[in-house]
Structures are given as structure tokens and as C-alpha cells.
């Protein structure tokens, strides 16, 4: 009996060790490329079979900023991101209200269509977008690129916000009416504060998707609307790996900041569900 228990404990222990090891391996697998890029962006004369760069330098960052025109590119990325966030969230609030609060005919079908751009290969979808945008002369405008991004950002905003609206307690709204609040006051004093976590979540999702979006940008950008992912990709073509690495590291920084905000401030369940009327 004791032997069996010891065996079982050992087995459990064994599984635990195995699981732990796998987790460490996965962590390494995920972090290794980051490490690689970071080292490369500060390494000088790192050729051949050397394990570590012989010399460290900030030079590549200066090159990236000056030659790669990163400030301008960052500005483009943020403008496009901001437009995409605002448009997606506004769409998300109205569509989320409709999905979450009302019985809508053909709700499943609409949902499926909305999610389509994420399901089919991005390049297929992007080609269609490009063709339309050339016709409408939206190519190489901040609004145009942002609208292309909205097609993938808005579905996330809608999903998040319809869950938020579903979690909104009807009777709390009725209570506000009985207390004397008209529709507008009810929206600003009760509905808006209660869906705020959902709106923030939708904004964060939309921004990261716009910020990281590559395929759609590649087919709709122009000289005035180069974004960070596209600029980095173009630098790869130029063949300067050190400068490209520096750009890649610069690009990662805002993502890490957002990740930190999410981890610190917001509980995921709070972001999606909104408040329940406890």
C-alpha cells in the first residue's frame, strides 16, 4: 500500500518534472528569437561561428532611425492604429449592442461573415481589398490603410463588446429609468461606465491587430503610409541585418508596454464580461 502510494506520488512527481521541463523548453523557444534579434541589434563584427558578438554598439539604432526614417514610420503606424481603433470601437459599440441586447434575425450568418477576413488566407482577402482601394483611390492614404485594418479589427471589437452588452443587467437599466434618467443620462451615467472595461479591451485588441498587421498593409501602403512591419520587411530586402534587427526591437517595445498594461491592470474576464449586476 505504502509502496503503491510512493509509486503514485513518484509518478505524479515525474509528470510534474516532465511538464515543467516542457514549459521551460517552450519558454526558451519563444524567447530565443527575441534574444537573437536583440543581440544582433547591438552587436558589431558578429560573423561566422562566434557564440556572442565581440563588440557592442548603439550604431544600428542610429542608422535605423536616420536612414530607416523610423520616427516618420512610427507616426504613420500610430495614426493608422488610432483611426482603426476609433472606427472599430464605434462599429463594435453599435454592433455589439445589437448582437448582445436584441434578438437579431440571421445573427449567426452575420457573425460568420464578419469573421471571414480572419478565416480565409490574409493574402487572398488583401488582394481583393487592394483592387477595390485602387479603384477608390484609397491606396497610400492613412484612412485607406486604417480601413483595411478595420476589416480585421472590428470583428474583435464586435465579439468583445457583444459579450459585454450581454453581461449588462437589463434591470439595472430599468432601475435607472425609474430613478428618473432619460435615455441619454442613462447611457452616460450607467451604460457607459458599465461597458468601459469592454471598450478598453476592444481598443487594446484593435490597436495590437492594426499595429501588427502586415499583409493588408503591404498591399495598400505607399510612400506616405509605410508602417513599422512593412518598413522592417523592406529593410530585410536591403540586406542590412543589423539595422533590420534594430527596427524589429523598436517595433516590439509598444507591444510589450501594452502586454504589461494588460497583465498589471486588467483581468481578462473583466475585460470580456463587463460587470455583472451582483
Partner 1 sequence: MVDAMIEFRDVSKRYGTLVANDHLSLSIRRGELMTLLGPSGCGKTTALRCLTGMNHPDEGRIFLDGKDVTDVPTHQRELGMVFQNFALFPHMTVADNVGFPLMIRNLPKEERTKLVTEALRLVRLEGYAAHYPRQLSGGQQQRVGLARALVYHPKVLLLDEPLSNLDAKLREEMRFEIKEVVTRLEITAMYVTHDQAEALALSDRVAIMNRGRLQQLGTPEEIYESPNSRFVAEFIGLSNFLDGRVSGVRGATMTVAASGLAIQTPVLPGVTSGQKVLLFLRPNEIELLPAGATSDANIFPAKVEKTTYLGDTIDYRLVFGEGADLRVQTDARHRYAAGEAVRVRLPRVRSWVVAD
Taking the C-alpha atoms of residue 68 and residue 225, their distance in angstroms, rounded to an integer, is 14
Taking the C-alpha atoms of residue 234 and residue 213, their distance in angstroms, rounded to an integer, is 15
Taking the C-alpha atoms of residue 47 and residue 49, their distance in angstroms, rounded to an integer, is 7
Contact of 110 with 104, CB cutoff 8 Å:
yes
- Find the part of the chain contacting partner 1 (CB under 8 A) among 35-43, 166-174, 216-224, 233-241: 166-174
Site for partner 1 (CB under 8 A): which residue of 5, 49, 171, 264? 171
Q: Please choose, from the candidates 174, 173, 180, the residue with its C-alpha nearest in 3D space to the C-alpha of residue 275.
A: 173
Q: Please choose, from the candidates 193, 63, 211, the residue with its C-alpha nearest in 3D space to the C-alpha of residue 145.
A: 211
Taking the C-alpha atoms of residue 26 and residue 186, their distance in angstroms, rounded to an integer, is 49
Q: Is 246 in the site for partner 1 (CB under 8 A)?
A: no
Q: Is 86 in the site for partner 1 (CB under 8 A)?
A: no
Q: Is 188 in the site for partner 1 (CB under 8 A)?
A: no
Site for partner 1 (CB under 8 A): which residue of 34, 58, 94, 189? 189
In angstroms, give the least distance from the CB of 122 to partner 1.
39
Q: Is 190 in the site for partner 1 (CB under 8 A)?
A: yes
Q: Which is nearer to partner 1, 19 or 277 (CB)?
A: 277
Q: Is 179 in the site for partner 1 (CB under 8 A)?
A: yes
Q: Which is nearer to partner 1, 131 or 276 (CB)?
A: 276
Q: Is 181 in the site for partner 1 (CB under 8 A)?
A: yes
Q: Which is nearer to partner 1, 140 or 169 (CB)?
A: 169
Contact of 133 with 139, CB cutoff 8 Å:
yes
Read off φ and ψ for residue 44, nearest 5 degrees. Answer: -125, 140
Q: Which is nearer to partner 1, 81 or 167 (CB)?
A: 167
Q: Is 193 in the site for partner 1 (CB under 8 A)?
A: yes
Site for partner 1 (CB under 8 A): which residue of 78, 79, 172, 236? 172
- Residues whose CB falls within 8 Å of the CB of residue 45, separated by 6 or more in sequence, listed in order: 53, 54, 55
Which positions from 22 through 51 interact with partner 1, judged by CB under 8 A?
none
Q: Is 177 in the site for partner 1 (CB under 8 A)?
A: yes
Q: How many angstroms separate the Cα of 87 from the Cα of each of 38, 93, 136, 202, 235?
A: 34, 10, 19, 11, 30
Which residue ranges make up the site for partner 1 (CB under 8 A)? 169, 171-172, 174-182, 185-186, 189-190, 193-194, 275-278
Amino acid at each position: 500500500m505504502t509502496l503503491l502510494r510512493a509509486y503514485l506520488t513518484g509518478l505524479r512527481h515525474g509528470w510534474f518534472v516532465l511538464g515543467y521541463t516542457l514549459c521551460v523548453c517552450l519558454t526558451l523557444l519563444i524567447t530565443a528569437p527575441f534574444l537573437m534579434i536583440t543581440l544582433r541589434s547591438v552587436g558589431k563584427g558578429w560573423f561566422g561561428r562566434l557564440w556572442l558578438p565581440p563588440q557592442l554598439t548603439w550604431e544600428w539604432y542610429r542608422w535605423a532611425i536616420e536612414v530607416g526614417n523610423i520616427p516618420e514610420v512610427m507616426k504613420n503606424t500610430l495614426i493608422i492604429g488610432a483611426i482603426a481603433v476609433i472606427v472599430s470601437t464605434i462599429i463594435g459599440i453599435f454592433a455589439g449592442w445589437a448582437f448582445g441586447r436584441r434578438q437579431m434575425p440571421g445573427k449567426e450568418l452575420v457573425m460568420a461573415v464578419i469573421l471571414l477576413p480572419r478565416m480565409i488566407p490574409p493574402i487572398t482577402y488583401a488582394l481583393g481589398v487592394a483592387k477595390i482601394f485602387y479603384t477608390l483611390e484609397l491606396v497610400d492614404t492613412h484612412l485607406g490603410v486604417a480601413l483595411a485594418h478595420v476589416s480585421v479589427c472590428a470583428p474583435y471589437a464586435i465579439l468583445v463588446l457583444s459579450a459585454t452588452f450581454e453581461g449588462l443587467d437589463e434591470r439595472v437599466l430599468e432601475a435607472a429609468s425609474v430613478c428618473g434618467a432619460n435615455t441619454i443620462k442613462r447611457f452616460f451615467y450607467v451604460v457607459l461606465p458599465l461597458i468601459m472595461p469592454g471598450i478598453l479591451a476592444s481598443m487594446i485588441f484593435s490597436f495590437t491587430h492594426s499595429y501588427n498587421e502586415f499583409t493588408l498593409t503591404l498591399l495598400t501602403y505607399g510612400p506616405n503610409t509605410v508602417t513599422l512591419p512593412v518598413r522592417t520587411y523592406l529593410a530585410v530586402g536591403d540586406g542590412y541585418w543589423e539595422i533590420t534587427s534594430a527596427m524589429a526591437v523598436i517595433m516590439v517595445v509598444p507591444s510589450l508596454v501594452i502586454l504589461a498594461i494588460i497583465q498589471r491592470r486588467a483581468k481578462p474576464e473583466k475585460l470580456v464580461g463587463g460587470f455583472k449586476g451582483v
